[in-house]
Structure formats: C-alpha cells, structure tokens
Homo-oligomer: A and B are copies of this chain.
Amino acid sequence: MELYEKTLESQIIYDGSFISLKVDKVLLPDGKTSHRAIVVHSGAAVVVPVDDEENVILIRQFRKPIEKVIVELPAGKLDKDEEPLECAKRELEEETGYSAKEFVKLTEIYTTPGFSNEVIHVYLARGLEQGSSHTDIDEFVEVFKVGLDDAIKMVKNGEIKDAKTIIGLLLAKMYLRGEWI
C-alpha cells in the first residue's frame, strides 16, 4: 500500500523561538486532500547521567503546558547548527552542574510524530564530575540524585510520566545490565 502524503501547500501560522506551527495541505493515498497541522522543532538531546554507585541525576521543573512540577532527566533543545552530542554535554552541565567523561548514544526518539517533527537524541553519561549549574535565564530547576532502580520504580508507580525520561531510564538500565545489542 502507498502510504505517502504529498504536500500541496504549506502555510506558516506561527514562528516562535522555541516552536513554530505550519499547516500543510496534503494529497492522501486515495487521491483526496486533507490538512496536517505540524509543530516544527529543531530537535533535542536528553541525558541519563549515572554515577559510579548507579545513582541517576534527575531534575524537577515546572512545565507550563501541563501546569505541573515534574521529574525529568536533564534535556534541552539543540542550538542552531549544534550537534546532538554537544547539546547533551551542554544541557547536562547547564542544568545539573555535572560533566561526564563518557557519552553513549542509546537511540533517538520521535516524541509526537502525529503533530511534530521533534526528534530527541538519548545519551547515557558515565564518569560524572560535579560542578555548578547555570540554567538559561528563564529556566528554573531543582537537581536531585536517586538510585537508578528507584527511578525505575518511580516510572512504575507513576511518579515519573515524562516520555523521554521513561525511555532514557529504561534503556540505560538495559544497557548497564548488558541487555544491549
């Protein structure tokens, strides 16, 4: 079956510093047309920082869209022309103050392929060294440390609901357990 949808027209609705919105008119496989609203995002990196005692560094952050303070892994948006690995290193240091000797790319994920092109690159960071955090001017976070197994319990009991954080924690555990390819 042909699944591809050709773009007939594309209109920019909103052009912001963080996300933009466009609406594409598309040709469907059956010859009809439809509209797709698409959030354009530059991509991001998320880091699973695991220390020598198998603790993971997490953050608490207020997220306006859901009006809640939630637990997440350190993460952030790629700067213009920034490589995902550089972004991972920068965000780890900015948000938590930690730097890491070793980064392992675990995978990359589409967070919301139904309405956004966002890709998040997922890294495990080992060999941590503590410095001091210095977040963006409009970003406020609390940093804390918890055993990786306890963090995975927080996934199971619903204390951690952020998608990139769940994926980072579960894949890091599989990697560290030797259950990788």
Residues of A within 8 A of B (CB): 1, 3-5, 7, 13-14, 16, 18-19, 21, 23-24, 26, 28-30, 32, 34-39, 41, 60-66, 68-70, 72, 107-120, 137-138, 140-142, 153, 155-158, 161-164, 166-167, 170-171, 174, 180-181
Contact = CB atoms under 8 A, between A and B. Distances in A.
Contacts of A107: 155-156, 158, 161, 166
Interface centre among A62, A65, A68, A157 (most CB of B within 10 A): A65
The 5 A-B pairs at the shortest CB distance, nearest first, are namely: A3-B62, A63-B113, A34-B138, A36-B64, A65-B117
Contact of A112 (B36, B60, B116): B116
A14 B13 contact: yes
B163 A110 contact: yes
This chain's copy number in the assembly = 2
Contacts of A4: 62, 69
A64 B110 contact: no
Given A19-B39, A26-B64, A110-B163, 20 more contacts: A7-B64, A13-B21, A14-B21, A14-B23, A18-B37, A18-B114, A21-B21, A29-B140, A66-B110, A66-B117, A66-B119, A108-B161, A109-B166, A111-B163, A112-B116, A112-B163, A116-B116, A120-B163, A157-B181, A167-B167
